[in-house]
Amino acid sequence: MIYDLIIVGSGPAGATAAKIAAEGGANVLLLEAAEEGRYKCCAGGIPLTNEEFSSIPRDVGEREITGGVVVTPKKGPIEFEAAGEKDKGYCMFRTDFDRFLVNIAQDAGTQVIYGFRAKLININSSGGVIVKGPQEFRSKCVILATGLGGARLQRSLGMEVPAMVNGIQAEIAIPESVVNEQFGNRVWEFFDRSLITHGIGWAFPKRDAVSIGILGDNARVSHLKSFLRYPILKNKISGREMMVFKGRKIWAAPIPDKIIAKPYRDRVMIIGDACGTADPILYEGIYQARLSGKLAANVFCKAFEEDDFGELSLKRYFDLLKKHLYDEGLRYTYKIHQLLYHSGLLEDIIDASFSIAMEDPEMMESMTALFTGTQTRKQIWKVMMSRKWKLMRKLGVSNSLHLIPTLFRASRI
């Protein structure tokens, strides 16, 4: 049998693409290396914008998030509230969320096989695609949605693998009433270069657990252990146990840092983390993975209608990614990323920006949107840049001199 489409990887990118392609009438096979119900190392924080793909049931979106707390070493916690419904989000376990997404793809007609690790993909421009693993499957087109676990497959097809940083995380079991009292319905973000080069840590509350993690270049377990002793966190989690998944308490996983230049070739498209779509400010990638899955599935449906899976036909995916994800989003994310992570002034810029925002509602809206995603990255960048002289005054002369080359580099992205 020849499938119309095989999707390799059943995370948010693959499951979203599978649902849309199956709804479009295609015969879709979704292959997943892990067993059903696998633990995925992820803080599981998503903005409500995710509901543009499908609404999220209450039992999956474990905890509604109505605000955030930003912690830097100089200033105490800076708290902000979601201004309206659209600013809210959820924190959930990826096991539940990913299962939910695969279920709705199955309901749309997708066939799913768990425990199938694709080892080799052969592309034959006249004959189609052969995906080899424990068995062999054939299709007209293939979408790679393997996260950062499919680098060998990508390279063997002559395709690029995104640059990445490492994330380290543990889930701490805490009774619901204590989570409510200590963390509330807020995501906690820590900006402190003394923790790690990129200096970002987080505590994301679930119903009766909190995901605590840290990421950056060469993040190691020792970085997480020091973070767990961070003054403001230590008291909140003291005496609590780490949860165990597959015999492990601490998990590591990579997160992409940059989108790849060419995510398509004849009969192949690459989506989600495998394509490098995550947003390297807070390193969240679920929404972007689903968006890229939706765009690739739409392009597949058109190619299916025209029976043309050649490179030129699939290039439409690249054009849509550029329009919907890059031009007003990732391009400006990379500018803000430069400013925060490559200026050597991470926490100073966060402190100065929030200090301006305290007396400037427009700036506060943009700073909040950094976390909630309710403004495009382009809008946020514009608001930040319109206050750059104020920012420099707050940073002082010597820091401002440091900032100038970074601003120049950012302006060239």
The residues, ordered by sequence, that sit 6+ positions from 171 with a Cβ below 8 Å of its Cβ are: 206, 209, 210, 211, 212, 242, 243, 245
Nearer to ligand FAD, 101 or 352 (CB): 101
- Which pair of tokens denotes residue 357? 């925002």
Place of tokens 């694709």: 118
Nearest-approach distance from CB 53 to ligand FAD, in angstroms: 12
Nearest-approach distance from CB 153 to ligand FAD, in angstroms: 6
Among residues 213, 218, 216, which one has the least CA distance to residue 233? Answer: 213
Nearest-approach distance from CB 388 to ligand FAD, in angstroms: 29
DSSP 8-state code for residue 240: P
Nearer to ligand FAD, 212 or 357 (CB): 212
Nearest-approach distance from CB 276 to ligand FAD, in angstroms: 10
Q: What is the DSSP string of 350-395?
A: HHHHHHHHTT-HHHHHHHHHHHH--S-HHHHHHHHHHTHHHHHHHH
CA distance 88 to 86: 6
CA distance 219 to 170: 14
214 vs 90, 170, 211, 372, CA distance in Å? 20, 10, 10, 19
Nearest-approach distance from CB 293 to ligand FAD, in angstroms: 7
Nearer to ligand FAD, 89 or 128 (CB): 89
Nearer to ligand FAD, 42 or 384 (CB): 42
Identify residue 254 by its one-letter amino acid code.
P
CA distance 349 to 228: 24
Nearest-approach distance from CB 295 to ligand FAD, in angstroms: 13
Nearer to ligand FAD, 279 or 351 (CB): 279
Chain centroid to CA 347: how far? 22
Nearer to ligand FAD, 44 or 128 (CB): 44
Nearer to ligand FAD, 145 or 356 (CB): 145
Residues of the shown chain interacting with ligand FAD in the complex, contacts defined by CB under 6 A:
8-14, 31-34, 40-46, 117-118, 145-147, 149-150, 153, 167, 169, 204, 213, 253, 255, 272-274, 278, 284-287, 289
Nearest-approach distance from CB 219 to ligand FAD, in angstroms: 9
Nearer to ligand FAD, 288 or 343 (CB): 288
Nearer to ligand FAD, 153 or 364 (CB): 153
182 vs 50, 81, 186, 187, CA distance in Å? 27, 16, 10, 12
Angle at 367 between CA 323 and CA 275, to 5 degrees: 35
Nearer to ligand FAD, 333 or 343 (CB): 333
Nearest-approach distance from CB 367 to ligand FAD, in angstroms: 19
Q: What are phi and psi of 156, to 5 degrees?
A: -65, -20
Going by DSSP bridges, is the β-strand pair 120-124/136-144 parallel, antiparallel, or unpaired?
unpaired
Nearest-approach distance from CB 387 to ligand FAD, in angstroms: 28
Instruction: Give 375: exposed, middle or buried? Use CB within 10 Å, 0-12, 13-18, 19+.
Output: middle
233 vs 78, 222, 236, 307, 316, CA distance in Å? 15, 16, 5, 56, 47
CA distance 176 to 182: 10
Nearest-approach distance from CB 250 to ligand FAD, in angstroms: 11
